[in-house]
Structure 1
Amino acid sequence: MIRVLVVDDQALVRQGLRLILELAGFEVAEAGDGAAAVAAVAGQRPDVVLMDLRMPVLDGVEATRRIVADGDGSTRVIALTTFDADEHVVNALRAGAVGFLLKDVTSEGLADAVRRAVDGEPVLAPSVLARLMDHFAARPPRPPAPPAGVADLSERELEVLTRIGAGLSNAEIAAELVISMATVKTHVRHILAKLDVRDRAQAIVVAHEAGLRHGAR
């Protein structure tokens, strides 16, 4: 059974999320702030943490950073918040979150996001992905130097990274490039290694920092 830790300073929000997740068949625990979340993850090793970002004692971004730094990679953090401001999205992903959802997500969408996180897929609400794209589009199109590792990618790996940056799943990438799922997974593994990033969510940030645009000519 997938184990989920719900982290939010509002008890009513925690209880609501817990009910949704338990009805979907998950085992759920709770924490009321970032510091409690870090301690809970160390003791319980949940599969997924749903992390609010604005909390007392320790905010969600710093809590995410500590969980990722102290863990073995088995716990995936999804940022969950009311706000979709650019800096929140980028900071949460850079801290190690595998995704970013808004609190208006549907029950089905929340359960699906947890499953996708466990499977190693990025979890970004469409509006959040659009914000992320706008954030980097507003910056100079050619940074002084490309992010480390990008120059080491093959042409095919760049094609895959571009589609990762657009939020495409492995199945969608395979369909677009007319290659097998196994081949996509191999490319993704090589891309993460060459970029020295933990997961696809951080690869999304690198793709946008490198100016890679899906569909650009």
Structure 2
Amino acid sequence: MSNKIKISIINQNEIEGEGLRRILIERSVEDVEVFRKYSEISFDDMEGPMSSVFLLICSPVDDMTLDICRMAHEAHPEARIIMLANECSSMMVARAFRVGVAGYISKDTSCAGLVAMIKLVELGEKVIPSRVISDLAALDTTSRPIENDVRISDTNMSGREIEILRGLIRGEPNKLISRRLNITEATVKVHVKSILRKLQVVNRTQAAIWAMSRGLSGNSETSMQEEIALPFPVLTGTRPPSVKCNGTYIAAA
């Protein structure tokens, strides 16, 4: 790893942050600091082109964490931002990359694998969980275009199902959706099955893609009248080129 690299771990949990710092130092990563807040990081000592990795320990991944990533990317676009999280749904990973994240790593990753992935991010590669590739592989491989004249309002979905569909767009697991809507997890599962049947898709990822192609967002305040049909067909079954490394797929930048 480059001698110029500086890893700043941002984590409100001091024990978890220090534990990760020790893991990296034991594997020859010398310049590692732990901060409770992004605002505590000082860039005054950086000379020349900055080679820095922000390693954010995010569990759970939430809007506040994504806002931190957005601020860090806007303030220091040359820095690499990595998220290390329990939640690795395709929609959540997509949201992270939209705000400037360069690497999204599962906490299930081995210590050696983590260091290897940080090195890849430093080199300018994008790192995503293999779970995302599995979701893409599960898409319909017939590459048939989705009929854009079918709108969400035509699917006969209830208001509750629309709210759950927004949760799928945000990448929320059933447990989080049930807690947010104050219903049981079993009820959420029933609604999800109904959503998949009404949209004629096979999994949560396809349902989220279908809904987003009609203009539905994960924001509960967006009205149904804001739905739009894209002026181009959305193809399913598309799989981008990638390289597998230690259980994680790396897509070219």
TM range (shorter): 0.5 to 0.7
Look at both structures and tell me which one has the larger radius of gyration over its CA atoms. 2
Q: Tell me how far 1:79 sits from its aligned partner.
A: 0.9
If each structure's helix is expressed as a fraction of its own residues, which one has the higher value? 1
* Secondary structure of the corresponding residue to residue 125 of structure 2: coil
Aligned to 2:71: 66
TM-score by length of 1: 0.58
For the residues of structure 1 that align with 2:212 and 2:96, how far apart are their CA atoms? Answer: 24
Residue 103 of structure 1 is aligned with which of 104, 107, 111?
A: 107
Q: Is the CA contact (8 Å cut-off) linking 2:52 and 2:79 kept in structure 1?
A: yes
Q: Is the CA contact (8 Å cut-off) linking 1:47 and 1:76 kept in structure 2?
A: yes
Amino acid at match of 2:111: S
Q: Tell me how far 1:9 sits from its aligned partner.
A: 1.4
* Secondary structure of the corresponding residue to residue 7 of structure 2: strand
* Secondary structure of the corresponding residue to residue 15 of structure 2: helix
Aligned to 2:227: none
Q: Is the CA contact (8 Å cut-off) linking 1:7 and 1:52 kept in structure 2?
A: yes
For the residues of structure 1 that align with 2:206 and 2:243, how far apart are their CA atoms? Answer: 19
For the residues of structure 2 that align with 1:10 and 1:116, how far apart are their CA atoms? Answer: 26
* Secondary structure of the corresponding residue to residue 123 of structure 1: strand
Q: Tell me how far 1:137 sits from its aligned partner.
A: 3.7
CA deviation map 1:13-59 (0-9, x unaligned): 11111011111211101111xxx22441644556111113358xx82
Residue 11 of structure 2 is aligned with which of 4, 8, 23?
A: 8
Structure 1: give runs of 5+ residues left out of the alignment.
147-161, 170-187, 189-199, 201-217
Structure 2: give runs of 5+ residues left out of the alignment.
139-203, 214-229, 233-237, 245-251
Aligned to 2:128: 124
Amino acid at match of 1:140: W
* Secondary structure of the corresponding residue to residue 88 of structure 2: coil
Q: Is the CA contact (8 Å cut-off) linking 2:91 and 2:205 kept in structure 1?
A: no
Q: Tell me how far 1:132 sits from its aligned partner.
A: 6.5
TM-score by length of 2: 0.51
Residue 31 of structure 1 is aligned with which of 29, 35, 46?
A: 35
CA deviation map 1:165-206 (0-9, x unaligned): 34337xxxxxxxxxxxxxxxxxx7xxxxxxxxxxx2xxxxxx
Amino acid at match of 1:75: A
